[in-house]
Chain A
């Protein structure tokens, strides 16, 4: 008796499913930053960094990699006064010479901060412009991307933290994909993670970007 098409498909499904490989270790939550007094101190520090970043962004022309560092910068959903913008660690004002002091990590953090800040504020066109034209996100239409991002940020809120070169995610090379991977300068590109406080512990609670240096500046590749 011939097997039905359904039985054939179920048998095939079963054979394919047998290829599943259990992870080596049971899933555990990703390591999070400290809480309590130390965490509060850290939060205060990054808030100061954010204020500096916002102040300098207001004075700058746009998303240039020469903007000062935002190594870890939570958006506070408010508009801090530039006047209350002490330089972290008591050093000279970053506005004095941002070109001279900015590091690739700082620049990468800054552009992702700007990108995220634009999304938080609904400046989708500005954010879109920071994405690499040949990157994974730009393969979809702006309208589709805007709708999806708009829905996401309605839940993600306005508070986020940026981490350059996070240590608890897979290395950069594993996030590369065709056809855009060939445009990545793997020796100099950096991973930048954005954690959304409102979605802490959720799988959708963080984004991951590759910030790639190009001849015209930094470009963002949204890889997660």
Chain B
């Protein structure tokens, strides 16, 4: 068990080291930029709540991703409410905005599991085993999800 000062320090380090990863995971899962920011924030708040009892000798990123996934499936997420107002809206340039609209539209054809499985394995470079753990599924189911995702995107 970490003492408060150490835990706070470890928490800050986890934030600096993994925020981007947690956000991208959340973005893949939600396919919604503000919701992803919200979800990433919630995952870190969950980490904050557990910082004193967490085993910090183990990698914290998998813990954060599992927390984010569980939070995302929490019934409260369906309310689509946001913890922050418009500052959460992406302020893209025109080209990026157009690209995001195209990508988001195509990605919306996938389930959250398919989308996240594909992004984490194809973009983030995670192993199937790591992704399966984060998503709470089996290797086989994950491979099937990635395959389905690719098929769907080809015609998107």
- Complex-state Cα separation, A23 to B18, whole angstroms: 12
Q: Once the chains bind, are B96 and A19 in contact (CB under 8 Å)?
A: yes
Q: Once the chains bind, are B92 and A19 in contact (CB under 8 Å)?
A: yes
With A19-B90, A23-B19, A28-B48 already in contact, the answer to whether A12 and B102 are too (CB < 8 A) is yes
- Complex-state Cα separation, A152 to B78, whole angstroms: 10
In the complex, per-residue mask of B26-44: 1 if CB is within 8 Å of any chain A CB, else 0:
0100000000011001101
Which chain B residues border A26 with CB–CB below 8 Å? Answer: 11-12, 15-16, 44, 48
Any A CB within 8 A of the CB of B50 = no
- Of B15, B45, B79, B153, which one neighbours A204 at CB under 8 angstroms? B79
Number of A interface residues in the complex (CB < 8 A)? 34
Q: Once the chains bind, are B85 and A203 in contact (CB under 8 Å)?
A: no
Chain A residue with the shortest CB-CB distance to B155: A5
With A6-B154, A27-B44 already in contact, the answer to whether A203 and B86 are too (CB < 8 A) is no
Any A CB within 8 A of the CB of B6 = no
Q: Once the chains bind, are A14 and B123 in contact (CB under 8 Å)?
A: yes
- Which secondary structure dominates chain B's binding surface? helix
- Complex-state Cα separation, A26 to B82, whole angstroms: 17
- Complex-state Cα separation, A199 to B74, whole angstroms: 13
Which chain A residues border B20 with CB–CB below 8 Å? Answer: 20, 22
Which chain B residues border A83 with CB–CB below 8 Å? Answer: none
Q: Once the chains bind, are A27 and B45 in contact (CB under 8 Å)?
A: yes
Chain B residue with the shortest CB-CB distance to A148: B79
Which chain B residues border A20 with CB–CB below 8 Å? Answer: 20, 23-24, 27, 37
Chain B residue with the shortest CB-CB distance to A152: B79
In the complex, per-residue mask of A135-152: 1 if CB is within 8 Å of any chain B CB, else 0:
000000000000010001
With A27-B48, A170-B85, A203-B83 already in contact, the answer to whether A12 and B156 are too (CB < 8 A) is no
Any B CB within 8 A of the CB of A76 = no
List B79-113 residues whose CB lies under 8 Å from chain A: 79, 81-87, 90, 92, 96, 99-100, 102-103, 106-107
With A12-B103, A16-B92 already in contact, the answer to whether A174 and B23 are too (CB < 8 A) is no
Chain B residue with the shortest CB-CB distance to A170: B85
With A20-B23, A23-B19, A203-B42 already in contact, the answer to whether A9 and B79 are too (CB < 8 A) is no
Any A CB within 8 A of the CB of B4 = no
With A22-B19, A23-B19, A174-B87 already in contact, the answer to whether A5 and B156 are too (CB < 8 A) is yes
- Identify 19 residue pairs between A and B in the complex whose beta-carbon atoms are under 8 Å apart, listed by A's number: A6-B153, A9-B107, A9-B153, A9-B156, A10-B118, A10-B119, A12-B102, A13-B107, A15-B99, A20-B27, A22-B23, A26-B48, A28-B45, A155-B75, A203-B38, A203-B42, A203-B83, A204-B81, A224-B81
Beyond the given A16-B96, A20-B23, please list 15 additional residue pairs across the A-B interface where CB-CB is below 8 A: A5-B153, A9-B107, A14-B123, A16-B92, A16-B100, A19-B90, A20-B24, A22-B16, A23-B41, A27-B45, A28-B48, A155-B76, A203-B81, A204-B79, A224-B82
Which 4 pairs, one residue from A and one from B, show the smallest C-beta to C-beta distance? A26-B15, A204-B76, A6-B153, A27-B44
